[in-house]
Amino acid sequence: MKTRLNCPCGEHIRGEDENDLVERTLAHLAERHPTHDYTRDEILFIAH
């Protein structure tokens, strides 16, 4: 299961599970990268 994602801006995002990771990543994107619109699949593709 993927629970970590390193955002290109240098932010390290961790979730309890994939759903949590996607939620946290979307929240980070909305706050820091409002022009980036990633889907769940795209987020999980760059997660590890």
Q: Which residues are at the interface with Zn ion (CB under 5 A)?
A: 7, 9, 11, 32
Give 38's contacts (C-beta < 8 A, 6+ positions apart). Answer: 25, 26, 29
Taking the C-alpha atoms of residue 39 and residue 48, their distance in angstroms, rounded to an integer, is: 16
Which residue, 31 or 41, has its beta carbon nearer to Zn ion?
A: 31
Which residue, 18 or 28, has its beta carbon nearer to Zn ion?
A: 28
Maximum Cα interatomic distance, the chain, rounded to a whole number of Å: 28
Beta carbon of residue 11, minimum distance to Zn ion (angstroms, whole number):
4
Beta carbon of residue 38, minimum distance to Zn ion (angstroms, whole number):
11
